[in-house]
Amino acid sequence: MNFRTEIKIARNPVKAEHYQKYVTIGSCFAENIAGYFKYYLFNVLENPFGVLYNPVSICNAIKILNSKKVFTENDLIYDKGEWHSFYHHSDFSHEDKTECLNNIKNRTTHTLDYLTSTEWIIISLGTSYVYRHKEKNIIVSNCHKMPASDFIRELLTSEESKKYLTDTINLLRKINPAIKIILTVSPIRHIKDGFAENQLSKSSLIYAVHEIINTSSNCFYFPSYEIMMDDLRDYRFYEKDMLHPNKIAIEYIWEKFSACFFSDACLTAIKDIEPYSKGTMHRPRNPESAASKAFEQKIKKLKDELIAKYPYLGI
């Protein structure tokens, strides 16, 4: 007797390799997936602009990279003792204006350089809702806890989402014509928008994404949202807030993702790396004990074996 409906995902026609480079960009789910890439020692750049939730913000980020935009004081706002960029997460905010601009400049330069040689980018879309700053008349990536009265909330149509995503893909391919793109809709529910509104928002994104992958080469879809809603449809797979997938759910989605996109050689590398990564997370109670010293030597041996087998690893 079956008590759930498991989503069967066919293996992607184009396989990803462990030695290749990856970028994740978008919602919190992009960070969740990047965590597994890091754990298994992939070469990955995680959310270079910080968390971005909607197609407009993601498109703006790639526009900034494509144009090599240099931010100045005129691009920043000052609020509650800090300088902020409406195109970046608050991780870039700083009480020192120069420091804020330098953080943005350095990350932009590094990201553009990384993108030119990366093989894969994973774009995680969170919502179709956007916030427009009234005075500047721009859709922002982050409101930086400024008063809600400063913004207008808008819902993108599926056609608008499709346009911004198409622009994003075209801009990415100007930077790197060979890049392969994985689009996914985040399984995290945006209940603050409302239950019906969240479904409308996600549905609009899913429609837009499927319109794109049907007409774009080297552009693929991974059903993160559908796995959470139709396969793991139980609150035991959520965190206490009942909105975010918990570790078990994220790990399950990662396993589905791995089986879909990774080559057999890549899956073998992951299996080989697991004992080493698990060991590096161990924190001994008594670092000077004989047992701890022996464990250190074991981890060093695993590391040496991995480097010998996979010379590209940066460990």
* In contact, 42 and 16? CB cutoff 8 Å: no
Q: Is residue 309 part of a domain?
A: no
- How many percent of the chain have pLDDT more than 90? 88
Q: Is 11 exposed, middle or buried (0-12, 13-18, 19+ CB in 10 A)?
A: exposed
Q: How confident is residue 176, by pLDDT bands cut at 50, 70 and 90? A: very high
Q: Is residue 191 part of a domain?
A: yes
Q: Is residue 215 part of a domain?
A: yes
Q: Is residue 286 part of a domain?
A: no
Per-residue pLDDT at 108: 97
Mind listing the pLDDT tens digit for each residue in 251-283? 999 999 999 999 999 999 999 999 999 999 888
Per-residue pLDDT at 286: 84
Q: Is residue 255 part of a domain?
A: yes
The total number of structural domains that make up the chain: 1
Phi-psi category of residue 242: left, alpha or beta, with phi > 0 → left and psi -120 to 50 → alpha:
left
For residue 75, the domain's CATH number is: 3.40.50.1110
| pTM for the predicted model, two decimal places | 0.95
pLDDT score of 290 more than 90: no
**In terms of DSSP bridges, do strands 129-133 and 138-140 run parallel, antiparallel, or are they unpaired?**
antiparallel
Mind listing the pLDDT tens digit for each residue in 205-233? 999 999 999 999 999 999 999 999 999 98
Q: Is residue 272 part of a domain?
A: no
Query: Residue 155: what are its φ and ψ, rounded to 5°?
Result: -110, 120
pLDDT score of 304 more than 90: yes
Q: What angle do CA 120, 224, 123 make, to 5 degrees?
A: 35
310 by DSSP, 3-state: which?
coil
Question: How many helices (H) does the chain have, and how many strands (E)?
Answer: 9, 10
* In contact, 94 and 85? CB cutoff 8 Å: no
DSSP state for residue 256 in the 8-state scheme: H
Q: Is residue 228 part of a domain?
A: yes
Q: Is residue 172 part of a domain?
A: yes
Per-residue pLDDT at 224: 97
Q: Which residues span the domain enclosing 258?
A: 21-263
Residue 136: CB atoms within 10 Å: 11
